[in-house]
Structure 1
Amino acid sequence: MKSRFLMVFVLLVTLGMILAACGSSDNEESTGGDSGESSGSEDSGGDSGSGDFSVAMVTDVGGVDDKSFNQSAWEGLQAFGEENGMSKGEGIDYAQSESDADYATNLNRLVRQDYNLIFGIGYLLQPAIKEVAGQYPDTSFALVDSVQEGDNIASIVFKEHQGSFLAGVAAAKKTQSNQIGFIGGVDGSLINKFEAGFVAGVKSVNADIDVEIEYAENFNDPEKGRALASNMYSKGVDVIYHASGGTGNGVFAEAKDLKNANPDEDVWVIGVDRDQHEEGQIGDANVTLTSMVKRVDIAVQDVSEQAMNGEFPGGEVIEYGLEDDAISIAETNEEAMTEEIRSSVNEWKEKIINGDVEVPSTREELESFVDAL
C-alpha cells in the first residue's frame, strides 16, 4: 500500500515539474514575441525612411533626359544626393510625365511614398501642385518656373530675360546676314520672357537686325522644331535661339544636317537651360554658338538643402539671376565665341547687374525698350 502511494506521489511530482517547465517556456516565448513586434513597429515608425529626409521630382512632358530643363533639374537632385549619401530610389527619385494628365498622378504617388519634399519641374505643373499641395499640408512642395501661393509651397523663378538678353548680344555680334531667329515652345508669359530679353539684346547691338519669331506650341516636338528651323535657315537666318525644351533637339538636327551638307555654311544654334554644346557637335565642327544657361540644378540643390536643414522657404518666391550665377552664357565653343563677342557680352552683363540696363520681360516692355534705343 505504501509502495503504491509512493509511486503515485512520484508520478504527481514529476508531472508537476513537466507542466511547470512547459509553462515557463511558453511565457518566455510569448515575452520574446511581444518584444520583437514592438521593436519592429518602432523601426517602421509608420513612415518610410524612419524619419530620414527624402526628396523627389515630377518632370514635365519633355522627360528627364530632354537635354534641357528636366535634365538639369535631375542633375541638381543627383548632386544633392551625392553630397548626402543618397541615390536614385534611396532618398532621391523622379517620376516621369508622358502628358499633363500624369502630373497630379505622379505627385500623389510620391506623396504616398512619403517623400518630404517634392518638386514640380515646369510651370505647366502649377495647377497640379496647387491641387495636391492643398490636400497634403504636411508635405513640402517646390514649383519651378511659376508662382503658387501656399504655406507648404516654395516658388522658384529665374530672370531668364537677363540671360536671353546676353544671348541676343552674342547672336547680334555673330550674324553675317543680319537675320536672326527665335523658336519658342509654348507661347505664354514664361517663354515670352526669353523672347523679349533676346530681341532686346539683339536690338541693343544693332537695331537694324531682323528677328523672326516662331512658336512650336509644344515642348516635346523635335520634328516641329526641325521644320521651323529649316524654314528660317532657308530664308537667310544664320543664328537661331531656341527656348523650347525637347523641341529644340530638332533645331540642332537641322543645323547639323545643313553644316554636314555644306561645311562652309554659317548656321548657328543658341541652346537653352543647360550648356548644349554637345548637342551641336558634328565631326570636328560644332553648330552651338553658346547657350543661355539657367541653373535649375543650383536652385533644386539649394532648396533641397534648405528643406533638409529645417529651413524650407514655404510660402516664399525665390528668384535666381545673373547676380547669383544661376543665369549665365556658356563659352564652351571658344572658336565661335570670339574674344570680341565675350567682351561685349561681359560689358552688357555688368550693365544689367549694376542696374544701368533694365531688361524687358514682356512684349509690351520690349516695345518701350526698343522705342527708347
Structure 2
Amino acid sequence: MRRISRLTRAAVGVASLALAATACGGTSSESNSGDEGGKDDKGLAIAYDIGGEGDQSFNDAAHAGLQKAEKEFGYRTAAIEPTEGETDADKEQRLASLAKQGYNPVIGVGFAYGPAMKAIAEKYPDTTFGIVDSVVEGKNVASLVFAENEASYLAGVAAAKATETKTVGFVGGVDVPLIHKFEAGYKQGVQDTDPEVKVVSQYLTQTAEEGGFSSPDKGRAAAEGQIEKKADVVYQAAGLSGQGVIEAAAKAKVWAIGVDSDQYEQEALAAYKDYILTSALKDIDGAVFALAKSVEDGKPLTGVQTFDLKSDGVGLSDANPKYAEVPGLTDAVAKAKDGIISGSIKVKTE
C-alpha cells in the first residue's frame, strides 16, 4: 500500500536562535530569514501542546509544518513551549502576545487551546488563528481537525493481522473524546478483521494536567501491564508518553504501533524501530503549512478544515520493511482503506 502522501514533509531545518519567551515563562524558538524588519516580516507562530517539541509525535509534526513555511516564505517564525500546570489564562496570554508581535497566522497545537482561542481571536480580528484538533467558531479562526478514527481503523486491521496471541492493546494518553476516536476506530478495525482478537485498553490519566501526554514512565508501565496480559501488539495515542509504550514493546519484543508521525522514521526512537510495525498518521504538518500558505496568498482559511483518509489527511505508514512481511496485512489494509473512502465502511468515533 502506498504510504500516506506527505505533502508538507519538512526538508532542511533552518537555523534558529533560542530566545527567552515573553509569553507565560515558556521558551521560544524564533528564526529570522530576512532583515531585522518589523511586523510585516513575521509569519507563522505555533504554540505547542503538552509535551512540547521533541515528542516525536504531535508537536513535532506541527513543527515540521512550521519549518516548511519558514523555508518557503522566508519570514520569521516562532514556536512557544507550554509551561507545567498552566491555565487557560496563560494560554490566552501566549496567543495574545504572538498576535501583538505581528505573527500571522497563530496556531494553537491541541484541543487544550480551545477556550483561550475563543477568548482571544475576536480581540485580534486582523490575525488569522488556527487550532489543531478542536472546533472554535470565529470569523478569523481555522479549525484543523482530522479523521483519527479512520487512521486508527487501519491500525486495528494491521494489529489483527499481526497478532499471534489474539490479544492486542490500546494505550490512550488522556480519557477525553479526542482519544476516544482513536480507540473506537482501532477496536472496530480489529474486530472487523478478526472477531476473535481481544483488545485491552487503558487510559493513563483523566486530565492532561496529570501527565497523560507527557509521561513516558506512565506509558511504559501501561504497556508492560498489557504485555503481561499477552498483548503482542500495542497501539498508543499518548503523545510523549507513547515513547514509553514503544520502549516497553521493543524490550518485550512485541509490536508497537505509533501515532501522528511516522515513528519508525524518528531518530530518537531508532533503538526501537524494528518493533514499530506501523504508525497511524495525521498530516498535521500539512495542515499547519496549508494555513500558513493561505495567509501568505491573501486568502486565509477559516472555519472547519477536515483532513481525512480520502484527502490523504490521515493514513497508515508502511515504512518498516517488516510491515509487508506480515501475511495478509498489506492487502487487508488496502481493502479497508478503499472501503472507508467509498463509504462502504463507516468508522465509529466513540
TM-score above 0.5: yes
Q: 1:329 — aligned with what?
A: 316
Q: 1:199 — aligned with what?
A: 187
Over the residues paired in the alignment, what is the CA RMSD in angstroms?
Answer: 1.7
Counterpart code for 1:313 = L
DSSP 3-state at the match of 1:228: helix
Q: 2:244 — aligned with what?
A: 250
Cα distance in 2 for partners of 1:177, 1:308 equals: 52
Query: Is contact 2:236-2:245 (8 Å) kept?
Result: yes
> How far did 1:138 drift?
2.1
Query: Is contact 2:40-2:102 (8 Å) kept?
Result: no
> How far did 1:50 drift?
5.2
Structure scoring higher RCO (CA < 8 A, sep ≥ 6) equals 2
Cα distance in 2 for partners of 1:144, 1:85 equals: 24
Instruction: Tell me which stretches of 4 or more aligned residues in structure 1 moved more than 6 Å.
Output: none
> How far did 1:130 drift?
1.1
Q: 2:66 — aligned with what?
A: 77
Correspondent of 2:170 among 174, 178, 182: 182
> How far did 1:251 drift?
0.6
> How far did 1:215 drift?
0.4
Q: 341-350 or 100-109, which moves further after superposition?
A: 100-109
- TM-score between the two structures when normalised by the length of structure 2: 0.83
Cα distance in 2 for partners of 1:212, 1:48 equals: 55
> Where in structure 2 are the equivalents of 1:163-174 lying within 5 Å?
163-174=151-162
Query: Is residue 51 from structure 1 mapped to residue 40 from structure 2 by the alignment?
Result: yes
Report the CA distance shift for 1:143/1:50 in structure 2 as closer, same or farther (over 3 A): closer
| Structure number with bigger Rg | 1
Q: 1:304 — aligned with what?
A: 292
Q: 1:41 — aligned with what?
A: none
Cα distance in 1 for partners of 2:169, 2:269 equals: 17
Q: 1:138 — aligned with what?
A: 126
Cα distance in 2 for partners of 1:73, 1:351 equals: 29
> How far did 1:114 drift?
1.2
Cα distance in 1 for partners of 2:262, 2:181 equals: 19
Q: 1:39 — aligned with what?
A: none
Sequence identity of aligned pairs in percent? 38
Residues 329-351 of structure 1 deviation map (CA, whole Å, 9 limit, x = unaligned): 11111124426211110111001
Q: 1:162 — aligned with what?
A: 150
Relative to its length, the structure with more helix (as a share) is 1
Q: 287-296 or 106-115, which moves further after superposition?
A: 106-115
Cα distance in 1 for partners of 2:166, 2:323 equals: 17
Cα distance in 1 for partners of 2:198, 2:328 equals: 22
> How far did 1:254 drift?
1.3
> Where in structure 2 are the equivalents of 1:4-153 lying within 5 Å?
49=38, 51-52=40-41, 54-86=43-75, 91-99=76-84, 100-101=86-87, 102-153=90-141
When the two structures are aligned, how many residues end up with a matched partner? 303
Q: 1:271 — aligned with what?
A: 258
Residues 257-312 of structure 1 deviation map (CA, whole Å, 9 limit, x = unaligned): 223xxxxxxx11100000001465438x7110100011100000111101111111
> How far did 1:136 drift?
1.9
DSSP 3-state at the match of 2:321: coil
> How far did 1:83 drift?
1.3
Residues 82-125 of structure 1 deviation map (CA, whole Å, 9 limit, x = unaligned): 11223xxxx21111102333422321221221112100000011
DSSP 3-state at the match of 2:108: strand
Query: Is contact 1:289-1:337 (8 Å) kept?
Result: no
Correspondent of 2:216 among 212, 222, 227: 222
Cα distance in 2 for partners of 1:229, 1:337 equals: 25
DSSP 3-state at the match of 2:322: coil
Query: Is contact 1:63-1:70 (8 Å) kept?
Result: yes
Cα distance in 2 for partners of 1:273, 1:312 equals: 25
> How far did 1:213 drift?
0.7
DSSP 3-state at the match of 1:185: strand
Counterpart code for 2:217 = E
Correspondent of 1:317 among 304, 313, 332: 304
DSSP 3-state at the match of 1:335: helix
